[in-house]
Amino acid sequence: MQHDPPPGDLALSVRGLSKRYRNRTAVDGLSLDLPTGVVAGFVGPNGAGKTTTMAMLLGLVRPTGGRGTVLGQPLHHPVGYLHRVGALIESPAFYPARSGRDNLRILATIARIDPGPIPAVLDLVGLTDRAGDRYRSYSLGMKQRLGIAAALLGDPELLILDEPANGLDPEGVRDMRSLVARLGHGGRTVLVSSHDLSELEQVCDWLVLIDRGRSLYQGPASGLQGRAALALRTRRPEEAACLHRVLAGDGLAVGALDQTRAGADATKLEVAIPDEGTKPADLAARVNQLAFDAGVVLVELAPHRRSLEDRYLDLVKQDLVKQDLVKGNHR
């Protein structure tokens, strides 16, 4: 599922991007359009191909196939755009005995970048108070933030961050989430990967979901959330089955709640709100009356919107079915 990006320039655009290692395909014909100025979440389980894709965009891994542009320059010629890109891939490497500030000065010297903005960069990532401390004394979260500070040297137009919250405690994850939101200010494009969709849904306005190296969804974060619905629960599974038939017979779209999860509660149902003009309260009254007429007691009836994680699992399931059909047609 892919939504057209909004009008304007694209920070990157690739078609058919692939990477194969002998008998294993890490990225499988991925096409990707990333609008300029968005904070984009690149989401998929471990092994989905996120890091390999980012490495190809940065010229660290040679693609097996595909073409495209990054910041308007050809993908196969990364030297033309890398000076405009900042990145944090894998764990950052710094001199343990040097301070955070000194490490950034060394990197700026090596890259021939003006060290003047270093104080502002340290302030942005929240390390001003610890800038003079040795790197070896930093916590994991501070090390990650210093890595992002290094990626920001040179004021890049595109920032690529690979799992920056990986391994952090809950407080560190929250701080990283807040930092990612700030990084998108001023028109900078940010592509940040994670295997945890809930970690990114609060700060990203664009989402790219992949699984096994293939795209499942690309578009606005709001476009992934399904239409609002009502969640209801009966006393027993047989009552839920009866009510399912009654509601479907009345023309309502009804299904099992959380049906993508193992061990789903058979007493729970979900009724989709037919259209934007239907008020949830009116639909609730209709459902309640139908249940009463059928002799079914509702123990719960409330507004409900499926989580992004549920929608992602739906897309994974649909992709698996699609691939099975393709394989069946080729037998």
pLDDT at residue 179, as a whole number: 92
φ/ψ (deg, to 5) at 25: -105, 115
Domain match, 215 and 241 both: no
- The token duo for 133 is 């401390």
Asked if residue 211 is part of any domain, the answer here is yes
Q: Domain containing 33 — which CATH number? A: 3.40.50.300
Domain match, 45 and 178 both: yes
Nearest alpha-carbon partner for 313 in 233, 258, 236: 258
Domain match, 27 and 133 both: yes
Tell me: the pLDDT tens digits for 185-218? 778 999 999 888 777 877 888 999 988 888 888 8
pLDDT at residue 5, as a whole number: 59
Tell me: the pLDDT tens digits for 84-129? 999 999 878 899 999 999 999 999 999 999 999 999 999 999 999 9
**Counted domains in the chain:** 2
Q: Domain containing 287 — which CATH number? A: 3.30.70.270
pLDDT at residue 11, as a whole number: 95
Asked if residue 240 is part of any domain, the answer here is yes
Domain match, 246 and 282 both: yes
Asked if residue 105 is part of any domain, the answer here is yes
Asked if residue 178 is part of any domain, the answer here is yes
What is the enclosing helix (H) or strand (E) of 172? helix 170-183
Residues of the chain with pLDDT under 70: 1-8, 225-227, 258-264, 276, 305-308, 310, 319-331
Domain match, 57 and 188 both: yes
Structural domain boundaries enclosing 102: 10-223
Domain match, 55 and 133 both: yes
Domain match, 98 and 195 both: yes
User: pTM for the full model?
Assistant: 0.77
- Give the C-alpha separation, 141 to 125, whole Å: 11
pLDDT at residue 71, as a whole number: 95
Asked if residue 312 is part of any domain, the answer here is no
SS (H, E, C) 173-242: HHHHHHHHHHHCHHHCEEEEEECCHHHHCCCCCEEEEEECCEEEEEEEHHHCCCCCEEEEEECCHHHHHH
- Give the C-alpha separation, 156 to 140, whole Å: 24
Domain match, 203 and 177 both: yes
Domain match, 216 and 234 both: no
